[in-house]
A and B are shown apart, each in its own frame.
Chain A
Amino acid sequence: MNWDWNVIIEYFPRLIDGVWLTLELVFFSGLLGLLLAVPLALMRASHNPWLRALPFGYIFFFRGTPLLVQIFLIYYGASQFEVIRESVLWPILREPYWCAIIAFTLNTAAYSAELIRGAIQAIPKGELEAADAFGMSRVLKIRRIVLPRAFGIVLPAYGNELILMLKSSSLASTITLLDITGAARTIIARTYTPLEIFAAAGVLYLLIAAVMIGSFRLLEKRLNRHQHYKMPAELAAVDPRMVD
């Protein structure tokens, strides 16, 4: 096995181009997905059974089918219908970029909606009772209590979801996009050095993931700062055994 550094150096700029596309895909679909997930989560956590049932089919489909199938259905499937090819949506749907964003957005929104629903339902009852005691309207309660608290609770799980999203974005390479994986595969098609190029691509994903993990940790520290408990020093003075 001879390891070829030159091929990594020579094609590195093309991998970096791929990094930008990967970041764009993750950022936009993450953002749009979150915007879509919040109302869905509120519906899922609602006490009205009809409202609760409404997003069920959507969430069930997108959590229950592989992302690759969803991408293919949107990119190759939708374009089979003349109605769609002649509709006003075609300029968007003909672009692989937007098809990827749509597929990733719908997919991550389905997962995030369930995460946020769980978080909403995990808010201690007392806090909601307190909001009611203050006479807050339902909207005000959602805005001031439910959502901020739910975001704090959901953060670790949502960070996980975004990292999964980062890795799933490699499927964009199957619809002609040159994200990190797409660029890597195109380079390998020419150089036949899968080990070197995929290793380089893997390192790039790791770096992006590391930055994401770090940012989420900071965000968590900030949003959940009221939750950090450190034993007061006075307690140790009362009973030194409590320190160990």
Chain B
Amino acid sequence: MKINKLISAVALAAVTTVTSTAALAGDKIRIATEGAYAPFNLINEQGELAGFDVEIAKALCAEMKADCEIVAQDWDGIIPGLMGRKYDAIIASMSVTEERQRVVEFTDRYYSNVLAFVAAEGKELDTSEAGLKGLTVGAQRATIAGQYLEDNLADVVDIKLYDTQDNAYLDLANGRLDALLSDKFPAYDWMRSEDGKGFDFKGEDIDIDDEIAIAIRKGDPLKEKFNAAIKAIVENGTYEKINARYFPFSIY
């Protein structure tokens, strides 16, 4: 009796798994974003996902006439979640990198990113290698900025890697960090907030030819659909309208 129950429970679970995989293959597109990377993706006061990425995702879905569901997922599990078919696309300000391309495929870019050092306004910060020597510099773990520090400045500065950008800001504000290496646009947004007052960009921007795109599983036909939709919203002005709500300059 007990064993029978167990078998039927297992069978039921198997059936549910099959149907949910089938549902994924249907029209509904599940999109993951992080929700901790203002102003690109964040959780707003109403507890909903919002931000540039989310608006772009919605605009793309409207363009594709697709039924979309946007879910929040922690950053360092976001690619494993895509591979595990928990969702079908990542629209979370993800940079196209060689390492990531080994496991996922990217669409065309939907914006371009540069890196910049951030430090207290009054602080003299020479962002050359010699000037940074011995300083404590932070970045978010598993980001282009974090990787840039590890690749170029590992022997020069003391690198601290954070789970979220917000935690890195906290440690910059309380003085644990001398400087933060960050994607420029979210840092720009933070500096305009109450917490980010008194901080400024230092030195030259670091242009690492960084394109931000949508990640999907390899060989997924969604790629063509997304590419067509990105092209369409850039051409019909939807993109520009969304861009203008966040930055006074174009980030495409």
Are A and B genuine complex partners? yes
Q: Contact partner of A176 among B79, B80, B162, CB < 8 A?
A: B162
Query: Does A192 contact B103, Cβ atoms closer than 8 Å?
Result: yes
> In the complex, which residues of chain A have a beta carbon less than 8 angstroms from the beta carbon of B142?
185, 188-190
Q: Which residues of B contact A121 (CB under 8 A)?
A: none
Stretch of B1-9, B46-54, B114-122, B169-177 on the interface side: B169-177
Q: For residues 167 through 194 of chain B, which have their beta carbon under 8 Å from a beta carbon of chain A? A: 167, 170-171, 174-176
Instruction: Return A18 CB to nearest CB of chain B, in Å.
Output: 13
Could you say which residues of chain A place their CB within 8 Å of the CB of B76? Answer: 185, 188-189
A79 to B100, CA, bound (A): 35
* Chain B residues positioned under 8 Å from A85 (CB to CB): 174-175
By a CB distance below 8 angstroms, the chain B residues around A194 are 77, 80
Is B35 at the interface (CB under 8 A from chain A)? no
Q: Which of B139-168 contact A (CB under 8 A)?
A: 141-142, 146-147, 150, 160-163, 167
**Complex Cα–Cα for A238 and B157 (A):** 78
Contact check, B176 vs A192: say whether CB atoms are below 8 A apart: no
Contact status B167-A76, CB under 8 Å: yes
Shortest CB-to-CB span from A125 to chain B, Å, is 46
- Residues from chain A with a CB closer than 8 A to the CB of B102 are 192
Q: What's the least CB distance linking A162 to chain B, in Å?
A: 26
B124 interface hit (Cβ, 8 Å): no
Interface centre among B76, B146, B147, B174 (most CB of A within 10 A): B174
Number of interface residues of B (CB under 8 A): 24
**Contact A192–B99 (Cβ < 8 Å):** yes
Residues in A with CB closer than 8 Å to B163 are 174
How far is it, in angstroms, between the C-alpha of A176 and the C-alpha of B172 when the chains are bound? Answer: 13
Q: Which of A169-196 contact B (CB under 8 A)?
A: 174, 176, 185-186, 188-192, 194
**Choice from A94, A188, A190, A191 contacting B176 with Cβ under 8 Å:** A94
A76-121 residues with Cβ-Cβ distance < 8 A to B are 76, 79-80, 85, 94, 96
Complex alpha-carbon distance, A185 and B140, angstroms: 12
Residues B94-153 near A (CB distance < 8 A): 99-100, 102-103, 138, 141-142, 146-147, 150
Q: Whole-angstrom distance from the CB of B241 to the nearest CB of chain A?
A: 34
- Contact between chains at A176 and B161 (CB < 8 Å): yes
Quick one: closest A residue to B167, CB to CB?
A: A76
- A134-175 vs B: 1/0 string, CB under 8 Å? 000000000000000000000000000000000000000010
The 8 A CB mask of B2-38 against A (1 = contact, 0 = none) is 0000000000000000000000000000000000000
Check if B100 sits within 8 Å of A192, measured CB to CB. yes
Contact of A189 with B141 at beta-carbon distance under 8 Å, contacts A176-B160, A176-B162 already known:
yes
Q: Which residue of B lies closest to A78 (CB)?
A: B174
Q: CB-CB < 8 A to B103: which residues of A? A: 192
| Besides the known contacts A192-B99, A194-B80, 13 further A-B residue pairs in the complex with CB atoms under 8 A apart | A76-B170, A79-B170, A94-B175, A176-B160, A176-B161, A176-B162, A185-B76, A185-B142, A189-B141, A190-B142, A191-B99, A192-B100, A192-B102
